[in-house]
Structure 1
Amino acid sequence: MHCHDTSARGPLPFNVPLPKPKPPLMTSRELYLRLLHYVKPHRRMFALSLVGTVVLALTEPAIAALLKPLLDGSFVARDPEAIRDVPLLLIGLFLIRSVADFTGAVSMKWVATRTVTDLRCAMLARLLQLPTRYYDRHPSATLLSKITYDVTQVMTACTDALVTLVKDGVSVLGLLAWMFYLNWKLSLLTLAIAPLIALVMRLSSRRLRQLSRRLQGEMGELNRVVEEVLTGHKVVKIFGGQDYERARFFRTANWVRRLQMKLATSVESSVPGIQLLGVLALTAVIYLASLESAQGNITVGGFVSLFGAMAMMFAPIKRLTRVNDQLQRGLAAAESIFALLDATPEPDTGTRALGRARGEVRFEDVHFSYASGAAQVLAGIDLDVRAGETVALVGASGSGKTTLMALLPRLYEPSAGRIRIDGIDIAELTLASLRANIAYVSQDIVLFNDSVAANIAYGSATPPARAAIEAAAAAAHAMEFIREMPDGLDTVIGERGTRLSGGQRQRIAIARALLKNAPILILDEATSALDTHSERQVQQALERLREGRTAFIIAHRLSTIENADRIVVMQKGAIVEIGTHAELLARDGVYAGLHRLQETVPSGP
C-alpha cells in the first residue's frame, strides 16, 4: 500500500527551504577533541589500530616503489637477482598488508563499540538525573533517537572517518614522497591541485553540517510518530485513524528522504570536480614525463612507478573527499549528544539527610507556575498535615491537586514559598533521603517487562528477601492472582504489565509501596478506572497501606475519600475549603456541590 500525504502541510517539493538550524555551541575542533576524550580510556587498543592502519597505508607507496626495480631490473636489464627478489618482496608486502589491515580494522571496531557503549551509558545516566521539566519539553522519542541514531553517527566520525583520514592521508603523503624522490619537478604539479581540493571541502563542510543537524531532528520526529502509533494502536484502530497516521508518517519520512538526498547531492557534487582536477594533473605529468623520458632523464621503470604512484592517489583522495560527509554527520550528532550530556541535572543542593520521617508535612504560602511569566498553577497554598493523617485533595480537573503533590518529592521546585517535613525545609534535604520517605501509587501504573517479584522490589537499595516480597503482595491482596500465574512471582508480566488487568496492576503497585514502607504516601486517582469488584479489592489494600502513614489521596470519586481525616477542596490553584466529609456537606459549599453532582451523575465504571 502506498503512502499519500493528505495533510494540510501539502506536497513537499525538493526546493522547499528548510528552517535554519541554531548555531553550534562548539567549534569542530572542540567537538572532535571532546569525542576523542571518550576514546582515551581505550587508548592502547586505539594505538594498536592506528599502528595497523599506518602500516597498511605505507604499503601503498611501497607497491609503487616496487614497480621501478620490477621493470628496470627484470624486463630492461634482465637482472637475475631482481627477477628472483622482486616477486618475493611483493608476496611479503601483501602478507604485511593483510596482517596490518586485519589488526587495524578489528581493533578499531573494538574501540568503536566500546566508545558507543560508554556514550550511551553516559547519556542514560544524565537522563536519570534530569529534572521533570526537561522531559516536559523533550518528547521521549527524540531522546531515544539521540541514544540510537545520533550515537551511531558519532561512532562513524570517531572511528571510520579517523581510519580513513589516517590511512588515506598517510598513503597520499607516502606516494607524494616517492614521487618527489623520483622527480620533484613533475611532482610539484600534483601539489598544485591540493589548495583547490581543500577549498572545495571547506565550502561543502558547512552545508553538510547543517543538513546533518536537520536530518537528526527529523529522525527524532519520525521515531515520535512511530512510538505514538505503537502505543496508541488500539485508539487508532477503533477510531479509524489509519489513513491519518499513514499520511502523518509519510510526511515525516519524506522529509527524512529529502534531507538524505540533499546530503547525498552535496557529497557527490564535490567528487567529480576533484577527480577532474586530478585527471588534469595526471595528464600534465604524463606529457612532461614523456618529454623527460625522451631526453633520457627518467627510466621506463621510473616513469611507470611515477605514473602508478599518481594513479594510486586517486582512490585515497576520493575517499578523503567523502570522509567529510562522515565527519560532518558525526559532529552534528555530537552537538546533539553533548547538548544532552551538558543539560543541567535536577538541583540536589540539600545537605541534610533525612532518616525515617515522622510524616508531618507543612505547605507554607506555596506558589508555582510551569514557566516564567506563565499563569500560576498554585497560588498561596497553606496546609498543615499531622503525622499519620489522611488528607484527601478534591476539585475539578486543573485545580492543581496533582501539581501540589509533585512538589512534595521535588519533581518540580516551588516558584515561591516552602514545604517542610518534620519542620525541615525539603530544599535542605538530599533528594535521595527525601524520596526514600515517600511512596507513590497512581492511576497510570508504571510496570516493567520483568517478573512480578522484580516489579514489587523495584528500586530497593538491597535485594529484599523473598518472604518480604510475598508478605507485601499478600498485604496488597495480590497473592490470590499471583498464585494462579504460570511461574507465580517469577512470571514476566509484559511491557507496562499488559498481561495483567487494571486491578491487578494497581495491587502490584500497592505491594511495591508496601515493601518500600515509606512514612509518606501519595495516592493519585488510584481506583478511579476500576470496576466495582476490583475497586473493593484495591480499596482494602489501600486501607492496609495507609495504616500508620501520612497519606495524601487525590480523588475525583468522592465516595472513596469519605473516611479521610480531612478533605481539602481546591479550585484554580487555591484551597477554598478544608474539613471532614460531614463538615463540608453541612457547610453546603463547593464540596457539597461536587457531592450532589456525583450523586446525580455517578462516575466511574
Structure 2
Amino acid sequence: MGILNIAFFIVLGDLIGGISQSTNIDSTRAIINDMALRTTYISIGAFFSSFLGKVLLGIATHSIALKTKRLYFASVIKQEIGYFDCTSSGKIIKSLSEDVARLSGVIEFDVMNIMIAVGQIVSGFILSMVTSYKIGLLGFTSIPIMVLLVITSSLFISFLSRGSTLQSTKSVSTVNEVVTSIRTVKSMAGEKKEVMRYNQEIRSTSTFDFVSALLYSTCCSLIVFFIWGSTSLAMHYAGVMLQVGSMSINDIIWIWGFVSITVQGLQNLLYYIPEVLRIQNIIPPIINVVYRKPLISHSGGVNPDSLTGHIQFKNVKFTYPSRPNVVVLNNFCIDMMPGQSTALVGQSGSGKSTVIGLLQKWYQSDAGRITIDGIDLETIDPACIHKHIGIVSQEPTLFARTISENITYVVDNINHNTRQELTRQGASEETIQNKMIVVSQQMIEDAARTANAHDFITLLPLGYETVLSQNVSLSGGQKQRIAIARAILQNPNILLLDEATSALDTKSESLVQDALEKLMVGRTTIIIAHRLSTIQKCDKIIVMKSGVVIEQGSHDDLVNKEDGHYRGLVAKQAAFTKRDDVTMTSERTDLFTYSEVDELSEVEISSEPGSACGTPEMRSYLMKDCKMSEPNVNSDPGTPDPANYLIHKTFKKKFDAQKNQLDHNKVEPVGEDQQDVKDPKVHSFLEIFKYFGCDVLFFPLMLLGSICTGAIPILTMFIFGRITNKIVPSRNRDGNLVPFPPGYSYSTAITEEVMYLVYLAICGCIATFAYYFFSELLCSRISYRINKAMFKSIVRQEIGYFDILKSGRLLSIFGKDVHHVKVGLSRHLSNITRNASQFLIGVIIAMITSWQMTLVMVSVSLVTTFTTVFVMQKFISYFQKKYSTQIDNGMIIASEILSSIRTVRSMSGEDREIERYAVSCRLAMKYACGFTTCASILFGVGMFCIWAATALVVYYGGILLAQGELKAAAMTQVTSNMVVAIFSMSLAMMELDALFKAIASSKELLKIIKRKPQLSLGNKTIEGGMRGEIEFNNVCFSYPTRPGAKILKKFSLKIDKGQHVALVGESGCGKSTITGLLERFYDTNRGNIKIDGVNIREINLDWLHRNIAIVTQEPVLFATSIKNNITYALSGETSMEQIQQAAKAANAHDFIMSLPNNYDTVIGERGVSLSGGQKQRIAIARAIIQNAAILLLDEATSALDTESEYLVQSALDTLMNGRTTIIIAHRMSTIRNCDTIVVIKNGRVEEMGNHEGLMDREGEYCKLVHKQIEN
C-alpha cells in the first residue's frame, strides 16, 4: 500500500511532462488514456494489497495474541505453588488481558502502518536517488539527526514505560484483591480507603505517562522541523538544476513526489513508534513465563500402578520460597504405615498443613527425603500422586460448574490425563476406553448421600445440574459436604483431611464422620484437627511444635504420659469445653409447605424484580398446587412431608416447563453473564465522548494539533502546485503552449515558493508537538478517568451485584475494554482526525482549484467510503461481540483457576483446565477471522473504488488540460492533493475498526459507571454513638439470585444492648444471612431491621460498618503488611502500641514477631504466607482494635488450635463485655454462656432462651445437645 502513492506520482509526472511536451490534441489524448489506464491498474493493486495486507496481518495478529494467551496460561498453571506465593494474580491477569490486548493492537494497527511507512520510505528513497542522487541526499540529510533523536528518546521512554507498567500491575492487583474480597471490604467500610489506594496507584502511572509524552513529543517536533527543512533545501537545489538544464520537468515532479511521500512515511513512522517502544517492556515478562521451567514438574517420573500408602519423612527441612529465612520444618521425621490413620496436632503455624503440601508436591523440601512405598517422592509422577491422594481441606474450593461436575472433578481429570498419555503412546480407542473410570449418575448420588449432601442438592433449582457460580449461594457446610462427596467418589489410597468436618452441623458431622471412618478403612489417612475428640481413634497422633515432632503415639499412650504436651492439650481443651464440646445440627429443607405458601402475599412473591415467582402464571401455579394437599401435622419435623414433597416437585416441574420464558432463576454457564436489568442504555457516541473524551483543555488542543498536522502535507502539495505552475507552460483555448517570457528564472521562481516550505516546517514543528503531547496526555487522562470512575462505581455497588457479575468478567473489562477505549478515543481518534483533516483540506483546496475534477472524485469516494463504513460497522459489531464474549470466558476461567490453583494442582486438573481455556481461545479465533475477513474485503473494495475514482479524475482532468480549460498547476494541485487525501482516507479507514471497538467497549464501561447501587446509602447516624440494640421485625428474605428460595420467613428477634446472642441451626438455615442483613449487604424483601430504634436503611452505611466488627469462618486478609491488615477497619492513625496490644489479646504477637519484618511483613494475597489459624488470629486482632459497639463472630475460633483457642476465647470474652454480640458456632462450648440462644429452623425462630432453660424445655436445642453427647 505504501508504494501505490509512489507509483501514482510516476504516473502524474509522466502525465504532466507528456502533456507539456505534446504538440497536438491526439497525442495528448493518447497520453491521458494511457495514464488513466495505468491508474486503473493501481486501483486493482490497491484492492489486493489492501485486502491481503489487512486480512493476513489481522488474522496473524489474533493468532499471535490468542496463542500467546494459551501458552502463557498453560505455562503459568504448570508452575510450582511457590511461584504463586511470590507472584500476584493481578500481574498474571494483567498479562492475560491488558498486555495481550496492547500487543494485539500494536501488531494490527501500529505494525501495519509502520510497514506501510517503511514501504513509502524505502521506495521513495531509492527512486529519489535514482532520479537525482544529489537532490535525494539533500532531501534526506535530516535522517541521521532523526535516528539520533529517536534512539535517545527511545531509551528514556523504555525506562519510563517500565515504571508505568509496574504501577499498572499494582493497580490491577488491587482491583483483583478488592473484587474477590468485596464482602470484607464493605463490612469494614474500606471502600474509601481502597479508592484512595487505587487512585494513588493509577496517578503514579499517569506521572510516568506525562513525562514520556513530553519527551517524545519534543523529539518528534524537532524531527518534523528537520525533515521539512531538508526538503526545502532539496527543492531549492532542484530549481537550480532545472535552470541549468540538468533536470527535466518530469524529474522535478518525480523528485518532489518521491521526497514528499518519503517525508510523509517518516512522519507516519513517528506516529506509531511510541506504542511499539512501550510494549517492549511487557513482552519479555510474558516470554520469560512461557519458557520458564517449573522447579517442580507437573508431569513425568515414576508411575506405579498403585500406592499402598507407606509414607516417610526423613530429616526434612523446609522454608517457604516467600519466607526463606523462616524454617517451617526442621529435621522433621515421621513414619506412617499403610492403612493407618495419623493425626497431626499442634499450634497454628507449627507446620501441619506444610506436611500436607509437601506430600502433594506443592513444594520441594530443602533437605531430607520424603518417600511413599519406599519411592522418593521427587521421582514420582505428580499425576500419579494426585490420583492416589484425596483431600478435603478446611476451606473447600468448588468450581463454577454443575454439582455433578464438581463431584466428578478428580475422576474426570484422571480420565483426561489417562487419555492423553495413552494417545501419546499410540493406544487404540478400545484400550483407552478400558482404562477409563466409568462414573454413573447413581455413583455420584451415592457419594453425595454418604456425604449427607443429596437432600439439599435435590432442592436446588436444577438439582445436580445446578451450576455453582456466584449465582448460587451455598453455606460453608454445604460446600464442605460436596468436597467430601468428591473425595468419596475418588476412592483414593491416601486420604488427607484438613479440618474436613469443621464447617458441618451436628447431624451432618455425625453422618459424614461415619462415612469418613468407613472411607478411612484400609487407607493411609492423615488428619489435621484442632478438636482432639475427633482424633482419639487414630492409630498414631503426632504432636508438632515449631516444625519438629515432640511427641507421637496413640491417644491412650500420650494421655497417660506424665507432663506430656498432648496430655496438657487434652486437659486444657476438656477444661475449656467443660462438658459440651459438640457441634450443632440438623438438615434444612427449602420445601414450600401449605402454610408457608399461604403466607406468601402478592407483595412478598413479587418483591424481587425478575423473580420467576413474580409472574401471574407462576403465582397461580404455586398457589393452586399448594392447595391440593394439607400439611401432615403428625410428621416428624426433620422428615419432609410427602404432601410437601409433592408440592415441591410440582412447583419445580411447572418452573422447569417455563424456564425458557422465566429464566431469572437459571444459572448461566461460564461466560454468559446475567446482565443487570436496570443497566443504563447508551444511545450515542456523544454520550461516550462526554464521559471519556471530553477534556475542556486538552481535547481541543489535541484536535487542533491533529488538524494542523494533517494540514501540513496538503499545504505542501498546494505549494508544489504553485511550483508546477511556475515551471510548466500553460495552454491557450486552442490547445497551444504559452511559453514563459525571455529571461525567466526557474531557480528564482522555485526559491520564492520554497520559503513557504520553511514556514510550514516551523508550523509543523509546533503542530506536531501539540498533536503528540496532547494525544498521549489525553490517552493517559482518559485511562485515569475511566479506571477511577470504574473502580469507584464497582466498590459502591451492593453485594448482590457481585453475586451476578463474575470477578473474571470485571477484570477483563478493566484490562481489555479500558485499553480499547483509552487508545480509541485518544491515539486512534487523533489519527483519524489528522487523516480526516488532510482529506477535507485537500478537498477544499481541490474544489477551489477545479471544482469539476474534485466533484467527480469526492462524489465517488464519499459514497463508497460511507457505504463501506456502514457495512463494516455492522459486521464488526456482530463478530466483535461474539469475540469479546469468548475472551471474557477465557478471563473467567483464568481468574477462577488462579484463585483455586492449589485445589487444581491437588486434583491434577492442569491439563484439563488448559484445554478448557484453549477452547475459548479457539472460538475467539473463529470470530476474529470472521470480522477480520469482512473488514478486509470491505476495506479492499473501498480502496479500489477510491483509486478507480482517481483514474476517472486523471482521465477527465487530462481532457480539461488538453482543451486548455485547466492549467497544469491546477491539474497537479488537484491530483496530488487528492492522492494525499486518498492515502489519508485509507489510513483513517484502517483505524475505524479500532474506534468501533472503543465505542463497543465504552458501552460496557458505561453500564458499570452509570449504574446506581440498589441499596440506598442512608444519611443518619445515631446521636451519642451506637448502643447496640437490635430488632428484626417479621423479616422475609431471599437472595436476588434465587428469589424463589426463601431463606428467612417472618423472622423476628430482639437483642438488647450488651446482650450476647447465639444463633444455632443447621447449615444453610439462615444464620450467616442474618449477619449479612445486619451489615446491610442486602435489603430485606419484607419487614425491617432496627438498630437503637432506627431503621437500618436510614443509617449511613459507612458509619454502620465502622460500628460493627466481624470475624468470619474464612477470614480474608489483604496483600499488605500485618500492621495495615490489623488497622484496616480504622479510618484514623493508630499507634504501634495499640496494634501490639490487639495482637497480644488475639494471641498473634508472638508469631508476628517471629516473622522477618515483624508487623511490617507483607503476607501476600489473601494472607497466603500464613496458616489458617494465624490468619484468623490477625482477623480477631482486627476486630479487637476496631472497638465496635456490635460484634459478629461467625465461627471465630474454628481454625485455632487448643492453646490458641483458649487464649483467644478469653480475649473475645473480654472484648464482648459491654458489647452486643451475635455468635454463630457449631460448637456448644463457645455459646453455652450466652444470654440468649436462638434456634433457627427453616428461616424462623424455632425456640430461644438461655442454655439451662432450653435444656429443661427438651425441645430442638435439647435434641442437638444430646446428639452431640452421643457423637
TM-score normalised according to structure 1 size = 0.90
Counterpart Cα distance in 1 of 2:1133 and 2:923:
48
Counterparts of 2:1229 and 2:1184 in 1: how far apart (Å)?
A: 24
For residues 414 and 21 of structure 1, the distance between their equivalents in structure 2, rounded to whole angstroms, comes to 22
Distance 1:546 1:136 in 2: 32
1:60-209 aligned at under 5 Å gives the runs 60-74=713-727, 78-193=745-860, 194-209=862-877
Q: Give me the whole-angstrom Cα distance separating, in 1, the residues matched to 2:1120 and 2:823.
A: 34
| Residue equivalent to 1:357 | 1026
**Selected match of 2:1160 from 484, 490, 500:** 490
For residues 331-370 of structure 1, what are the structure 2 equivalents within 5 Å? 331-348=999-1016, 350-354=1018-1022, 355-370=1024-1039
1:204 and 1:557, CA in 2 relative to 1: closer, same or farther beyond 3 A? same
Matched, 1:259 2:912: no
Distance 2:686 2:980 in 1: 29
Question: Which amino acid in the other structure matches residue 799 of structure 2?
Answer: T
Q: How does 1:225-304 map to 2 (within 5 A)?
A: 225-304=893-972
Distance 1:175 1:305 in 2: 9
**Is 1:33 equivalent to 2:687 in the alignment?**
yes
Work out the CA distance in 2 between the residues paired with 1:486 and 1:308.
71
CA displacement, residues 80-108 of structure 1 (integer Å, 9 cap, x when unaligned): 32232344433443453344223212211
**Hey, what does 1:322 align to over in structure 2?**
990
Query: Cα distance, 1:184 vs. partner?
Result: 1.7
Q: Distance in 2 between matches of 1:468 and 1:139?
A: 38
Alpha-carbon displacement from aligned partner over 1:448-483 (angstroms, at most 9, x marks no partner): 111111111113221222222222222222212222
CA-CA distance at 1:553 after TM superposition? 0.9
Quick one: which amino acid aligns to residue 748 of structure 2?
E
Match of 1:551 among 1221, 1237, 1257: 1221
Q: Indicate the SS of the match to 2:965.
A: coil
Structure 1 partner of 2:139: none
The 3-state SS of whatever aligns with 2:697 is: helix
Q: What residue in structure 2 maps to residue 425 of structure 1?
A: 1095
Deviation at residue 346 of structure 1 after TM alignment: 4.2
The alpha-carbon deviation at position 230 of structure 1 amounts to 0.9
After superposition, where does 1:509-548 map in structure 2 within 5 Å?
509-548=1179-1218
The one-letter code matched in structure 2 to 1:184 is W
The code of the aligned residue for 2:711 comes to L
Sort the Cα spacing of 1:28 and 1:204 in 2 relative to 1 into closer, same or farther, 3 A.
farther
CA contact (8 A) 1:21 1:210 kept: no
Q: One-letter code of the match for 1:363?
A: F
Q: 1:106 to 1:245 in 2, by over 3 A?
A: same
SS of 1:313 mapped into structure 2:
helix
Task: Tell me if structure 2 keeps the 8 A contact 1:49–1:107.
Answer: yes
User: Does the aligned pair in 2 maintain the 1:271–1:321 contact within 8 Å?
Assistant: yes
Q: Quote how far apart the aligned CAs of 1:295 are.
A: 2.4
Does the C-alpha gap of structure 1 residues 425 and 324 become closer, same or farther in structure 2, counting only changes over 3 Å?
same
CA drift of 1:379 comes to: 0.9
- CA deviations 1:526-556 (Å, max 9, x no partner) are 2223343443343233223222211111112
Distance in 1 of aligned mates of 2:1094 and 2:955? 89
Name the aligned partner's letter for residue 1123 of structure 2.
A
* Deviation larger for 128-137 or 316-325: 316-325
> Structure 2 counterpart of 1:36, which letter?
K
Residue-pair matches, total: 587
- Could you tell me how far apart the structure 1 residues matched to 2:852 and 2:823 are? 38
Does 2:1082 match 1:440? no
| DSSP 3-state at the match of 1:125 | helix
Q: Contact 1:74 / 1:80 at 8 angstroms: preserved in 2? A: no
Residue aligned with 2:1001, SS = helix
Q: Work out whether residues 503 and 535 of structure 1, in 8 Å CA contact, stay in contact via their aligned partners in 2.
A: no
Distance 2:710 2:1163 in 1: 55
Relative distance call for 1:256 and 1:416 in structure 2 (3 A) is same
Cα offset for 1:591? 2.6
Partner of 2:369: none
User: CA-to-partner distance for each residue in 1:476-519, whole Å, 9 max, x for gaps?
Assistant: 22212222222222221211111222222111111111111111
Report what 1:13 is aligned to: none
More divergent stretch after superposition (57-66 vs 91-100): 91-100
Q: Determine the C-alpha separation between the residues in 2 that align with 1:180 and 1:555.
A: 84
2:1044 aligned residue = 374
Which range moves more in the overlay, 351-360 or 209-218?
209-218
Kept after mapping to 1: 8 A contact 2:1063/2:1071: yes
1:405-456 Cα shifts (integer Å, max 9, x gaps): 1111211111112222223222232223322221111021111111111111
2:1145, 2:1208 within 8 Å by CA — same for their partners in 1?
no
Shift of 1:236: 0.6
Letter in 1 for 2:1189: P
Separation of aligned partners in 2, 1:503 and 1:563: 24
Q: What is the CA–CA distance in structure 1 between the aligned matches of 2:680 and 2:1240, rounded to whole Å?
A: 45
Tell me the distance in 1 between the aligned counterparts of 2:689 and 2:957.
45
Q: State the TM-score, normalizing by the size of structure 2.
A: 0.44
Aligned amino acid, residue 400 of structure 1? G
CA distance in 2, matches of 1:206, 1:189: 28
Higher Rg of the two aligned structures: 2
SS of alignment partner, residue 370 of structure 1? coil
User: Which consecutive residues of structure 2, in runs of 5 or more, have no partner in the other structure?
Assistant: 1-69, 75-411, 414-670, 730-739
Residue aligning to 1:10: none
Alignment of 1:371-520 (within 5 A): 371=1040, 373-520=1043-1190
> Any idea what the Cα deviations from partners look like across 1:139-163, whole Å, max 9, x if unmatched?
1121222222211111133223321
Gaps of 5+ in 1: 8-17
Amino acid at match of 1:288: Y
Equivalent position of 1:58 in the other structure: 711
Q: Percent identity?
A: 29
Aligned CA distance change for structure 1 residues 415 and 395 (closer, same or farther; 3 Å): same
Q: Distance in 2 between matches of 1:389 and 1:178?
A: 86
Q: Displacement, 1:597?
A: 3.8
Which residue in 1 is equivalent to 2:1259? 589
Equivalent-residue separation in structure 1 for 2:747 and 2:1234 (angstroms): 106
Structure 1: distance between partners of 2:1096 and 2:924: 46
Contact 1:141 1:227 in 2 (8 A): yes
Q: CA deviation at 1:75?
A: 6.7
Query: Partners in 2 of 1:34 and 1:274 — Cα distance?
Result: 28
CA distance 1:430–1:143, shift in 2 (3 Å): same
Distance 1:262 1:597, change over 3 A: farther
CA deviation digits over 1:229-248, x for unaligned, max 9? 11111111111112221122
- 1:558 is matched by which residue type in structure 2? M
The one-letter code matched in structure 2 to 1:33 is E
By relative contact order (CA 8 Å, sep 6+), the higher-ranking structure is 2
Once residues 1115 and 718 of structure 2 are traced to their aligned partners in structure 1, the CA distance between those partners, rounded to angstroms, is: 71
- Deviation readout 1:341-381 (Å, 9 max, x if unpaired): 22221433644312422222122211111248512100121
Flag the 1:271–1:28 CA change in 2: closer, same or farther, 3 A. Answer: farther
Distance in 2 (alpha carbons) for counterparts of 1:518 and 1:482:
24
Residues 291-310 of structure 1, C-alpha deviations (whole Å, 9 max, x = no match): 22322333444333332222
Change beyond 3 A, Cα 1:524–1:247: same
SS in 1 for 2:1188: coil
Once residues 100 and 567 of structure 1 are traced to their aligned partners in structure 2, the CA distance between those partners, rounded to angstroms, is 76
Equivalent position SS for 1:43: coil
Deviations 1:55-102 (A, max 9, x none): 111112212112223334357654232232344433443453344223
Answer yes or no: is 1:47 the counterpart of 2:700: yes
Distance 1:306 1:378, change over 3 A: same
Answering whether residue 1233 of structure 2 is matched by residue 563 of structure 1, we say yes
